[in-house]
Structure 1
Amino acid sequence: MAESYRRSQWSHGLFILPYLLVFLALLVFPLFWGMWLSLHKVDLFGPGRFVGLTNYFRVAGDAVFLQALRNTIVFVLVSVPTLVALGLFLALALNRTTRTTSFFRGLFFSSSVLSVTIVTLIWRFVFIPGDGLLSVLFTEAGIDQINFISTRGWSLFAVGVATVWWCVGLPMMLFLAALQQVPKDLYEAAALDNAGPWRVLTRITLPSIARTIMLVTIIQIVFQFQLFGQAQLMTNGGPNGSSRPLVMYIYEVGFVRWDVGRAAAASQYLFLIILVAAMAQYIVSSRKTEDGA
């Protein structure tokens, strides 16, 4: 009996073996290989030599890296709350079973299936000076045109607008799924007590989907710290690096300057920042949920 039970366990384990192999090959191995590369002076054409923590010190003292870090943090601090709030607002507005709401759900989610190339092309047509949509609207309104793509301070804003438009579909759908799991009897009880919309929202809806809010926030923190394609295709990190994110810095160091060890060290910094930010959000949200309970 015990032998057949052990055989059954091994046979069940075979079902997850393909996933484990892919997980090890595409996630675990690259993670540790990147750590190994970050401790070496290496390019793509030689074996490299061990330099310890030198690459980490070089990256930490690089003004371009610090600028890219600052740009990324500002981008995340603005884009993540915007995506969470806008996704929640759309979910609340479309949490009905009608043809109109179904149409708008598909409309708002449709941008999420587009490639980053298509998204940036669309928004370049909006922000491009002279013939862009915003330039035409500003001209008609008698307002001075703003070169959003090539002006310091506005370039990162343009990237953020394109990113929010592109990514808002996923938070909306996750919130919709959570809202549909809230027990209807809670709303019926609130209606019997003559509770207003704001009280229903703050006392029933938001506490009921608190874990989904935490999940969406962590997902967006991880996603937005990896900003790359939009910034590269819309502004190329300009002007003067004012819209260069961390991933673009890693790309330029590793594949333009061929300093793979230094790029690997920068990627480890990025990994640590994402990990700390996600865990901090998880801990804070968990404590709030427990206090609310």
Structure 2
Amino acid sequence: MAEPLTATTAHQGAGAVSVKRARSVDIYAPQWRNFLFVAPYLVFFVTLLVVPLFWGIWLSFHKADTFSSGPFIGFGNYVRLFNDRIFLQSIWNTFYFVLLTVPSLALLGLFLALCLNRRTRSAAVLRGLFFSSSVLSVTIVTLIWRIVYIPDIGLLSMIFGLFGARAPAFLSDPSLAMIGIAIATVWWCIGLPMMLFLSALQQIPQDIYEAAALDNANRWQTLRSITLPSIKRSFVLVVIIQIVFQFQLFGQALLMTRGGPNNLTKPIVFYIYETAFRRWDLGLGAAASEILFVLILVAAMVQFLVSRRKADV
């Protein structure tokens, strides 16, 4: 005999149906309302990065100034650039500066990280001192180093004077001006590579070092076989970051040498600034900006691919 349907059994039946429906819903299905959480970031990303990028490309094909976009001239601005001796000199200056600073920052940052990777109070104080220069503005950094480089009465002249020698004229000698800017830049930017390497070193398990010590491995063997292979990815990251940063040299050259002597310290960004905002030739400045973008992209990708190929080998 069939059991009569009661309110309790009806309620249980409805509950079972609702559970089955809930289970049928895919919990991994995309929830479009989650887009609201990233929408503010996307708005700023598109407004401040994507739109200016394509706007700059569009301007580079026009004879534009501050007041109008001007007529379409195709690759005319790019032809003008590569016929400009000062622009070609600025490309060489930028590459020379990158060659001076990026290897120095990577190797010196690694050296400092290896020396200061200790759980002591003195190591913590030194880490703070080396990183403190990174929080300074470019104006303060250039002011400090202009005082260091002042002929006859600067700090460098005083140090050389103790040995009866004359200090190099870093800001006026054509062969030393870019080196002087590079020294100031390395002092300013060394904190970030050091901290990135420190973070990577502290992720290496100590068990590996203990096993190496049991095998009587010396410090050089441990560094070559354990430490350097373990931080290889961090080294590539540091190099790529510094390539992107140092290709954008501007403030140091502007405030320390004004691009001189004889345009030998004028980087591409300085050339863009003078062209677009002093000569009001926005089309030519936009074309130079796009060339700088391509140079940074190519340099970073070459470094990444070369490092990846070495890692695969």
Q: TM-score range by the shorter chain?
A: over 0.9
From 57, 70, 79, give the equivalent of 2:92. Answer: 70
From 29, 43, 48, give the equivalent of 1:21. Answer: 43
* Aligned twin of 2:244: 222
What is the RMSD computed on CA atoms of the aligned residues? 1.5
* Aligned twin of 2:161: 139
Shift of 1:61: 1.4
* Aligned twin of 1:44: 66
Shift of 1:10: 1.1
* Aligned twin of 1:209: 231
Shift of 1:142: 1.8
1:1-293 pair list within 5 angstroms: 9-291=31-313
| Deviation sequence 1:115-152 (CA, Å, 0-9, x none) | 00000000000001121111222233221343211110
Check conservation: 1:221, 1:278, Cα contact below 8 A: yes
Normalised to the residue count of structure 2, the TM-score between the two structures is 0.90
Check conservation: 2:62, 2:69, Cα contact below 8 A: no
Letter in 1 for 2:273: Y
Check conservation: 1:128, 1:148, Cα contact below 8 A: no
Structure 2 regions of 5+ residues with no counterpart? 1-21
Shift of 1:6: 9.0
Shift of 1:4: 8.3
Indicate the structure (1 or 2) with the bigger Cα radius of gyration: 2
Shift of 1:38: 0.4
Letter in 2 for 1:116: V
Normalised to the residue count of structure 1, the TM-score between the two structures is 0.96
Q: Would you identify which runs of 4 or more consecutive aligned residues in structure 1 move more than 3 Å?
A: 1-8
Q: What is the distance in 2 between the residues matched to 1:207 and 1:241?
A: 42
Check conservation: 1:116, 1:230, Cα contact below 8 A: yes
Letter in 2 for 1:62: D
Q: What is the distance in 1 between the residues matched to 2:300 and 2:195?
A: 21
* Aligned twin of 2:10: none
Letter in 1 for 2:166: D
| Deviation sequence 1:136-185 (CA, Å, 0-9, x none) | 22233221343211110111111000100000000000000000001111
SS in 2 for 1:41: coil
Give the total of aligned pairs.
Answer: 291
Structure 1 regions of 5+ residues with no counterpart? none
Check conservation: 2:171, 2:180, Cα contact below 8 A: yes
Shift of 1:11: 1.8
Q: Structure 1 6/180 Cα, relative in aligned 2: closer, same or farther at 3 Å?
A: closer
Check conservation: 1:207, 1:289, Cα contact below 8 A: no
